[in-house]
């Protein structure tokens, strides 16, 4: 009887953790694109197409990289093009650090694989409803970047409304 109660408690505890973590209402879009052979070629462009329905809430946009110890650099340069539903485009060139000066990788994870959230835009609102397109390619001098497993895009509501 006691073993059954403990087993039920464990099951309910794990279920509550799963529901708490899995139901983050602030995330309005999250997607990852797998990089073939964990080598991001300069010709391999990742494209994300979230549908935006709320034009009044401020949002944060993150680029997430999953990389391992094969990645040979401390930083990464990205070219990020954002296209609105009406066709307006903005291209940004951004640099992010993936490791400190001693080579210790930033981000979370175990073993060789690290997942690093890179803040792309903070407290922005989308002026139009519809499909936005985010195109991301690396801007490193090396054509093929070993050690990049996945590239992701996440959009989160900040909870604030634009004025």
Tens of pLDDT, residue by residue over 32-77, are: 999 999 999 999 999 999 999 999 999 999 999 999 989 999 999 9
Model's pTM, two decimal places?
0.81
How much is the pLDDT for 163? 65
Q: Rounded to whole angstroms, how far apart are CA atoms 150 and 57?
A: 28
DSSP letter at 35?
Answer: P
d(Cα 41, Cα 30) in Å, to the nearest integer?
23
**What per-residue string of b and e applies to 122-155 under the rule 16 or more CB within 10 Å gives b?**
eeebbeeeeebebbbbbebeeeebebbbbbbbbb
| CA–CA distance, 109 with 67 (Å, rounded to integer) | 10
First to last CA, the chain: 59
Q: Are 96 and 114 in contact (CB under 8 A)?
A: no
**So where are the chain's domains?**
26-161
Tally of CA atoms within 13 A in the half-sphere of 67 that contains its CB: 26
Q: What CATH superfamily classification does 26-161 receive? A: Galactose-binding domain-like (2.60.120.260)
For residue 67, report the phi and psi dihedrals to the nearest 5 degrees.
Answer: -135, 165
Collect the ranges in the chain with pLDDT lower than 70: 1-24, 162-163
């Amino acid at each position: 009887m006691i073993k059954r109660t403990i087993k039920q408690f464990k099951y309910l505890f794990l279920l509550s953790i799963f529901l708490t973590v899995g139901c983050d209402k602030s995330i309005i879009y999250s997607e990852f694109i797998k990089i073939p052979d964990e080598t991001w070629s300069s010709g391999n462009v990742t494209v994300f197409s979230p549908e935006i329905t709320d034009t009044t809430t401020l949002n944060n946009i993150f680029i997430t990289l999953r990389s391992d110890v094969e990645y040979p650099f401390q930083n990464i340069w990205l070219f990020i093009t954002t296209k609105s539903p009406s066709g307006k485009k903005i291209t940004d060139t951004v640099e992010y650090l993936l490791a400190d000066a001693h080579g210790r990788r930033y981000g979370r994870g175990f073993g060789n694989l690290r997942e690093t959230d890179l803040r792309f835009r903070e407290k922005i609102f989308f002026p139009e409803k519809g499909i936005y397109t985010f195109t991301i390619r690396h801007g490193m001098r090396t054509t093929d970047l070993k050690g990049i497993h996945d590239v992701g895009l996440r959009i989160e509501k900040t909870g604030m409304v634009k004025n």
